[in-house]
Amino acid sequence: MSLAHPIALCLVALAVPVVLAYLRRAPPPERPVPSLLLLRRVARTPRPRRRRLEHLLSLALILAALALGAAGLALRPSGAPDVAWALVDDSASMSATAGQGTRLDRARAELHAWLRAHPDTRVGLVASAPVRVLLAPTLDHAAVRSGAAALRPERGAGDPDPLLRSLCAVDEPPQVLALSDAWTGEGLGCAVWRPPLGEQVDGRGLVEVAARRVDALGLVEARVRSTGVPSRGAVPAQVLQGGVVLAEAMLGAEPALVRFQAPLDASWVEVALPPDAMPADDRVRIELPPAEAVRAALLTDRPSGYLATALRAHGGVDLLVLAPDDAPPEAVDLLLVEAEPRAGLPRARVRAALGVDPRALGMRTSGRRAEPAVAHVEPHPTLRGVDLQGLHVARSWALLPAPGDAALVSGPAGVLAAELSGDGGPWWVLGFGTEDSDLPLRVAFVEIVANLVQAAAGSGAPVRAVGVLSEVESRAALVPATPSAPGWPLGPAAAALAVLLLVVLEWLVGRR
Amino acid sequence: MSELLRQAAGLRLVGPRSAAGTRRGERRAAARGHGGDFADHRAYDPGDDLRHVDWNAYLRSGALRVKQFHADRNLRVVLLVDASASMGFGSKLQSATALARALAWVGLRHRDRVEVLRVGGGGGRARAGAPVDLGALDRALSCDTASGAADLVAALRAAGGPMRADVAVLFSDLLVEDEVRDATLRALAALARRPALVHVLGADDLQPDWGAIQARDAETGERLDLSGSRAERAAYARVLAEWRAEVHAGCRQRGVRCVDAPTDTEPRALLADLRRLGVLEPARPAR
């Protein structure tokens, strides 16, 4: 604004009649009174010379008020730059609460106030997540405001130093408005003004989340870490899927391992902390890789038998049923044999035989026993959760484990189940088949099949959650603001205040 | 007859214990004479009026004794009306004149010798000893306009020597400098044995209403700028009360009866104040 502004001109023009009015000001009307005897005691009688001085002081005050008003409207504040760059930080930490809104809202408000006070400054706009120039310096402040209004807190972040250093490397360095909670602009070479963007907030947030499928049955293991954990406390966390809480854990200073069972068809889960001042890092979504099916081969002469049916019903199993004369594939994850093989066997991570003559597999046996009883069951992964009490076996091969082999199920008739060493790895051998006992009618059968499938399933590679904030960003640290805006000696508001003070002073002088 | 005169009809001026008048009147004098009140006996001297011989005393004692009586004298009353310019505001001068006329009439009705002096406003002086002379007093008091400054001290001194009068009443607003006021009260106290001040104040003195003006003293022409602020008015009320208290204190100190007579006072209340302060009293029934 310049002195050619209509309001400034009006104020200057107003000074002329004010001066004339004061110079030609009529004395107060004269009025006769009975006596000045008492009035003299209440009225301070200024001497004519002093009265003239007060008169002139009053005039000077009025003129000073008018001059200040005009200057406040017309003069550009000393130090007001020609060009300024406004760096608006749109990183996630700017979503932290600051008063009624967020830090980003506060930054926009500060930018608007600065623009109002510097109408003659060309202003450019830079965002920081990622660092990018949104607007070249312009006098169109409405465009600057609308550019800032379009910014949303982003999860990425960048270092604006290189860009602003290059922008400051000019003959007349521009002013930089650092509307950021993290960037200080130290050593930039430009005058940097940082307005206050609220208070320091609770910096708790998820900074590390990774997960992997442990098996093909939906077991998932997540590694979770939160920042801002109290030194003698923990932060409660939840794992959710579709609003259902799958697991809960308390997070300490160290990363926590959380195991939970996810639905097999679940493609993602969420890890959530209790909400705080910055919601951006309170909830993280992890995409789970699809569970890899276990490739199983069943060598059987009963393709519709109990075992084939159980394996087909298992969602995580890709089943290949082989007849004893069929050519086997080269390798599978799980090999189940309930008939004597005649065409060779594929390589497998887990091999199991049920009711097959052990000699056909190169193992020793003491013969077949009728009605053997189950007396003892050794703990073993394949027998996890399996209850064989009261199992009725019509007939079973009695196994003879070699040194180093493990007898798993035994009774008076001998060893009925064992883990036996063989060519290409151990065999899990059950001396009786599904037709020789009531095992298929018991829950134990399903457990044994599930345990075998789980043993054959490999663990998936861990997957890191995308968009997790960095620890620095998550802490939402707030750099201190500069005390006040530089180059701000006389804005219209300050001028208005000064005018008001002078008018009050003039009124007081006039009362004397 | 005005309301004031009608109210004052049953009253008379209170004089000193013995009147100092030279003419026969209704007040007992210190000297022996032909009054109605017995004073003493004395031995008969040849040539004494035989009507005054106390024959009862002669029969009891065998000696001729003559009865002596207190002489009946009139009061010498001096009424001074301040007609300076300050008395011209409102109805101060009219009130003072009416009241002085009423007191003069009261005095004349009781055969007192009344002297009226108008100080300032062109001056005026008249003396009367009977009700028929009230017209002369009226002429001396008649003054429509107050003007100039009144030298009350000189006027009081010119009214007579020390204690020349029995009663002296000054009607004035007494808006003069403190030392002049004290000198005035001293002169008034020296003039008569029962001096009194009727302090006449008008609305312009008691509750003045002014804005931002340049006030001009009606007597001296001096000017003063006033703002008319609330604080200034409050200060005036305080100063006025203090000043009135000073006037009363000055009167008490010099034995001058002081009666406040604001111009809006009812005649009945004003006469009651004059009676209360011993300036007027109910008239005795004629002997």
| Confidence (pLDDT) at B239 | 93
Lowest-pLDDT choice from A18-32, A79-93, A204-218, A367-381: A18-32
Stretches in chain B below the pLDDT threshold 70: 1, 17-37, 39, 70-73, 122-123, 127-132, 143-144, 161-163, 284-287
Q: Which of A320, A269, A323, A268 is nearest to A293 (CA)?
A: A320
* Placement of tokens 């208290």 in the chain: B245
Whether A49 and chain B come into contact, CB under 8 Å, resolves to no
pLDDT: which is higher, A466 or A139 = A139
| Closest alpha carbon within chain B to A43 | B226
Buried b (16+ CB within 10 A) or exposed e, B69-92: bbbbbbbbbbbbbbbbbbbbbbbb
- Rounded (5°) CA angle A362-A365-A366: 160
Helical residues (DSSP H) of chain B, grouped into ranges: 3-7, 55-61, 92-109, 134-141, 152-158, 178-191, 203-206, 230-253, 267-276
Q: CA nearest A105: which of A115, A116, A94?
A: A94
Q: How far apart are CA B81 and CA B87, in angstroms?
A: 10
Mean pLDDT is highest, among A176-185, A456-465, B28-37, for A176-185
- Are A34 and B173 inside 8 Å of each other by CB? yes
Q: Name the residue facing A32 among B87, B216, B226 (closest C-beta).
A: B216
Residues of chain B positioned with their CB less than 8 A from the CB of A34: 85-87, 89, 173, 175, 202, 204-205, 218
Identify whether the C-beta of residue A505 lies closer than 8 Å to the C-beta of residue A61. Answer: yes
**Cβ neighbours of residue B231 under 8 Å, at least 6 residues apart?**
none
C-alpha span between B270 and A417 (Å, rounded): 140
Contact A39 B224 (CB under 8 A): yes
pLDDT one-digit tens code per residue, A75-102: 655 566 788 899 998 888 888 888 888 8
Question: Cα–Cα distances in Å, from B12 out to A107, A258, B106, B167?
Answer: 96, 122, 6, 12
pLDDT over 70 at A424, yes or no:
yes
Chain B residues in contact with A33 by the CB 8 A cut-off are 89, 204, 208, 210, 215-218
**In angstroms, rounded to a whole number, what is the distance separating the alpha carbons of residues B172 and B158?**
17
Q: Do A43 and B232 touch (CB under 8 A)?
A: yes
User: Mean pLDDT, chain A, as a whole number?
Assistant: 83
The answer to whether the Cβ–Cβ distance between A31 and B214 falls below 8 Å is yes
Given pLDDT bands bounded at 50, 70 and 90, which one contains residue A5? low
Mean pLDDT, range A259-269, rounded to an integer: 84
d(CA B233, CA B227): 9
- Given an 8 Å threshold on Cβ–Cβ distance, is B243 in contact with A36? no
**Whole-number Cα distances in Å, A309 to A114, A301, A386, A493, B43:** 75, 13, 19, 85, 178
DSSP, collapsed to helix, strand or coil, labels residue A329 as coil
Q: Which residue of A has its CA nearest to B226?
A: A43
Distance CA A244, CA B56 (A): 146
Closest CA to A269 of A251, A288, A247: A288
pLDDT for the residue numbered A73 = 66
Q: Which residues of B touch A31 (CB under 8 A)?
A: 210, 213-216
How far apart are alpha carbons A325 and A305 in whole angstroms? 18
- The more confident residue out of A26 and A77 is A26
Q: Which among B207, B232, B242, B244 is the top mutation candidate for probing chain A, defined by the most A β-carbons within 10 Å of its own β-carbon?
A: B232
Which two three-digit tokens encode residue B29?
A: 């004098």
Distance (Å, whole) CA B240 – CA B205: 8
Write the DSSP string, A207-269.
EEEEEEE-STTSEEEEEEEEES--TT--EEEEEEETTEEEEEEEE-SS-EEEEEEPPTT--EE
The answer to whether A350 and A311 are in contact (CB under 8 A) is no
pLDDT in tens, A269-326: 899 988 887 777 888 888 887 777 789 999 999 999 999 999 988 877 889 999 988 8
| Interatomic CA distance for residues B224 and B260, integer angstroms | 28
Residue A60 contacts residue A99 (beta carbons within 8 Å): no
- According to DSSP, the β-strands at A101-102 and A97-98 are antiparallel
Q: Which of B93, B213, B229 to mutate to test the interface with A (most CBs of A within 10 A)?
A: B213
pLDDT number for residue A61:
78
Start-to-end Cα distance in chain A: 39
C-beta atoms of A38 and B173 within 8 A: no
Q: Give the mean pLDDT of A127-137.
A: 88
DSSP reduced 3-state for A199 = coil
Contact A39 B226 (CB under 8 A): yes
Tokens 């798993």 sit on residue: A408
Nearest CB to B225 within list A28, A32, A37: A28
Contacts of B205 in chain A (CB under 8 A): 34, 38
What span, in angstroms and rounded, lies between the C-alpha atoms of A289 and A365?
45
Q: Which residues of B touch A39 (CB under 8 A)?
A: 215, 224, 226, 236
Residue A48 pLDDT level (bands cut at 50, 70, 90): low
pLDDT at residue B31, as a whole number: 57
C-alpha to C-alpha distances, A193 to A1, A114, A196, A487, B148, nearest whole angstrom: 23, 10, 10, 10, 77
Given an 8 Å threshold on Cβ–Cβ distance, is A27 in contact with B214? Answer: yes
The answer to whether the Cα torsion of B54, B56, B59, B62 is positive or negative is: negative
- Distance, in Å, from the CA atom of A53 to the CA atom of B134, rounded to the nearest integer, reads 60
A301: left (phi over 0), alpha (psi -120 to 50) or beta: alpha
B 211-230 residues inside an 8 A Cβ radius of A: 212-220, 222-227, 229
Q: Are B225 and A30 inside 8 Å of each other by CB?
A: no
Q: Determine, for residues B235 and A46 on separate chains, whether the beta-carbon distance falls below 8 Å.
A: no
DSSP-assigned letter for residue A510 = H
CA distance linking residue A314 with residue A483, whole number of Å: 68
Instruction: List, as ranges, residues 50-109 from A with C-beta within 8 Å of B.
Output: 51
Which range, of A407-411, A479-483, B170-174, averages the lowest pLDDT? A479-483
If one compares A18 and A281, the residue with the highest pLDDT of the two is A281
Place of tokens 């301070």: A44
Partner residue facing A35 (CB), from B86, B213, B235: B86
**DSSP code at position A91:** B
Segment 29-48 of chain B within 8 Å of chain A by CB: none
Could you tell me if B179 lies within 8 Å of chain A, comparing CB atoms? no
pLDDT at residue number A77: 55
| Whole-angstrom distance, CA of residue A501 vs CA of residue A481 | 30
Q: Provide, as residue numbers in chain B, all residues whose Cβ is less than 8 Å from the Cβ of A37.
A: 175-177, 243
Q: Please report how many Cα atoms fall inside a 13 Å half-sphere around the Cα of residue B263, on the Cβ side.
A: 20
pLDDT of A403 above 80: yes
Q: In this complex, is the C-beta atom of B89 within 8 Å of any C-beta atom belonging to chain A?
A: yes
Please, which pLDDT band fits residue A487 given cuts at 50, 70 and 90? very low
- pLDDT at residue A1 in the model: 47
Cβ <8 Å between A29 and B213: yes
**Largest interatomic CA distance in chain B:** 90
Which residues from chain B sit within 8 angstroms of residue A55, using beta carbons?
none
Q: Which residues are CB-contacts of A152 (< 8 A; sequence separation ≥ 6)?
A: A90, A104
Distance from CA of A14 to the nearest CA of B (A): 26
Q: Do A42 and B236 touch (CB under 8 A)?
A: yes
Burial A46-78 (b: 16+ CB within 10 A, else e): eeeeeeeeebeebbebbbebbbbbbbbbbbbbe
CB–CB contact B204 A38 (8 Å)? no
DSSP state of A77: P
Global ipTM: 0.78
A40 touching B (Cβ < 8 Å): yes
Handedness of CA A263, A269, A275, A276 (dihedral sign): positive
- For A12-16, what is the mean pLDDT? 74
**Token output for A467:** 């968009």
A330 touches B at CB < 8 Å: no
φ, ψ (nearest 5 deg) of residue B139: -65, -40
Query: Tokens 């499938």, residue?
Result: A453
Q: Which of A29, A34, A51 sits opposite B218 (nearest CB)?
A: A34
A343 CB contacts (<8 Å, ≥6 apart)? A324, A325, A326, A327, A328
By C-alpha distance, the chain A residue nearest B217 is A35
Q: Which two tokens stand for residue A27?
A: 């004395």
Per-residue tokens: B179:
């030392």
Residue B113 φ/ψ region, left for φ over 0, alpha for ψ in the -120 to 50 degree band, beta for the rest: beta
The CA-atom distances, in angstroms, between A110 and each of A59, A104, B126 are 39, 10, 93
Distance from CA of B140 to the nearest CA of A (A): 23
Residues A418-430, mean pLDDT to the nearest whole number: 86
B208: closest CA among A44, A35, A27?
A35
Dihedral pair phi/psi, residue A170, rounded to 5°: -130, 170
Q: Is the pLDDT of residue A486 over 50?
A: no
**Chain A residues close to B181, C-beta within 8 Å:** none
Instruction: State the DSSP H helix or E strand holding residue A42, giving kind and residue range, or none if neither.
Output: helix A39-42
**Residue owning tokens 């008649």:** B142
Residue B104's contacts (CB-CB under 8 Å, 6 or more residues apart) are B77, B79, B114, B116, B128, B134, B137, B141
